[in-house]
């Protein structure tokens, strides 16, 4: 029974993290139709920016108010989004909206290659550590085990993020316009929607979510080159399981993958490395386009 609880808690923590790092990817795909392979690099940039920003914060008297470091983390992610999103979307991606999905993947693969080296050029190859925000909240007792309270903060933030994205899309005017663009780009344009602006907004949100995922993760890991490479495929698996472009799907996919991974870590550790792909393959066998599928018309 205890083991079950442990698996559940570990699974939720990992699932919450997965949701944060993959929700931006699914949003960008939903609106722009581009599967952004550079998402992992944006995540890494978010993590690095946070490491730098929080480091500066504590170097200049942040100790007096350590909780402020959380605001610094969010701020770092916002800055990354504001700087990078217009550059990438206006400068590059908009040339490819009418092209095949696979071209989009390849273009962002190129961006990924460029950003990976850019990260090394800016921050060097030595790992960075920002442990302060991680230790700030102390420990929590959950059943037989103690957990770092920060892990639960991740769950809370993830839930809030998911709700915020859902609320934005379904309950606000701008969000509904975005849904209209997802549903039918040309029709929205004829109705007077500024599709370019919607695209930029959606991509900006996607970049912010990726960077925010990195910001949230930075205190938990050593921030070093290559952290983005692994994230991207995991995030892909999650949104493919859920159905591309679906926010609810990403949430469900994240929880499924999170719990399966936790179960494999505790029960069959040798499976841990590929349990994610296994879950994805099984889901795709029964639901070839993921769990939440948008219906598509076929050209005859």
Partner 1 sequence: MKAFSDIRVASLLALALLVAGGFALPEWALFLMTIGLAKALVSLGIVVQMRAGLVSFGQGLFFCIGAYVAGLMANFAGLTDIFVLTGIAVIACLAVGGLFGPLLANYRGIFFAMLSLSLSMILYGVLSKMNSLGGTDGLNVAAPTFAGYAPEGRALSLSLYLYTSFIVVAIGAVLRTGFDSQHGLVSLAVRSNELRVEYLGASVRRTNAINYVISAMLGGIGGVITGLAIGHVDPEYAYWTTSGEFVFVAILAGYLSIPAVFVASIILELVRSFSNLYFPNTWQMVLGVFLLVIILTLPNGLGSLFHRKREGGS
CA distance 75 to 53: 9
| Cβ-based nearer residue to partner 1, 87 or 145 | 87
Cβ count within 10 A of residue 162: 19
Left, alpha or beta for 290 (phi > 0: left; psi -120 to 50: alpha)?
Answer: left
Contact, 27 vs 246, CB < 8 A? Answer: no
Binding mask 218-247 for partner 1 (x = CB under 8 A): -----------x---x--xx--x---x---
Mark the segment that binds partner 1 (CB under 8 A) among 50-58, 157-165, 250-258, 266-274. 266-274
C-beta closer to partner 1: residue 219 or 290: 290
Q: How far apart are CA 19 and CA 23, in angstroms?
A: 6
C-alpha distance from residue 222 to each of 125, 130, 131, 143 (Å): 12, 8, 9, 28
**Number of residues in contact with partner 1 under rule CB under 8 A:** 44
Site for partner 1 in 16-55 (CB under 8 A): 35, 37
Among the listed ranges 108-116, 162-170, 174-182, 257-265, the one in contact with partner 1 (CB under 8 A) is 108-116
170 sits in which H/E element: helix 149-171
| 67 near partner 1 (CB under 8 A) | no
Asked if 202 and 241 touch (Cβ cutoff 8 Å), the reply is: no
Task: Please identify, using beta-carbon distances, which residue of 162 and 290 lies nearer to partner 1.
Answer: 290
Query: Which residues here bind partner 1, judged by CB under 8 A?
Result: 35, 37, 92, 95-96, 99, 101-103, 105-107, 109-114, 116-118, 120-121, 229, 233, 236-237, 240, 244, 270, 273-274, 277-278, 280-281, 284-285, 288-290, 298-300
């Amino acid at each position: 029974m205890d083991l079950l609880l442990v698996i559940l808690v570990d699974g939720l923590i990992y699932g919450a993290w997965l949701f944060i790092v993959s929700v931006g990817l699914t949003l960008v795909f939903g609106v722009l139709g581009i599967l952004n392979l550079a998402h992992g690099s944006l995540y890494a940039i978010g993590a690095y920016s946070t490491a730098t920003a929080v480091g500066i914060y504590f170097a200049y008297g942040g100790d007096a108010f350590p909780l402020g470091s959380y605001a610094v983390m969010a701020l770092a992610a916002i800055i990354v989004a504001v700087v990078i999103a217009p550059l990438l979307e206006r400068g590059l991606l908009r040339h490819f909206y009418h092209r095949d999905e696979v071209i989009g993947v390849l273009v962002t693969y190129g961006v990924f290659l460029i950003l990976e080296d850019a990260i090394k050029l800016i921050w060097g190859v030595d790992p960075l550590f920002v442990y302060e925000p991680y230790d700030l909240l102390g420990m929590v007792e959950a059943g037989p085990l103690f957990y770092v309270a920060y892990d639960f903060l991740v769950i809370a933030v993830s839930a809030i993020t998911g709700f915020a994205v859902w609320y934005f899309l379904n309950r606000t005017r701008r969000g509904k316009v975005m849904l209209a663009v997802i549903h039918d780009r040309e029709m929205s344009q004829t109705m007077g929607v500024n599709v370019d602006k919607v695209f930029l907004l959606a991509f900006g949100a996607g970049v912010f979510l990726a960077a925010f995922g990195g910001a949230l993760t930075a205190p938990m890991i050593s921030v070093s080159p290559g952290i983005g490479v692994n994230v991207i495929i995991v995030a892909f698996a999650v949104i493919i399981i859920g159905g591309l472009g679906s926010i609810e799907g990403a949430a469900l996919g994240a929880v499924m993958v999170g719990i399966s991974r936790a179960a494999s870590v505790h029960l069959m550790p040798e499976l841990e490395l590929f349990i994610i792909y296994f879950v994805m393959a099984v889901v795709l066998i029964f639901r070839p386009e993921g769990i939440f599928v948008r219906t598509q018309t076929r050209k005859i």
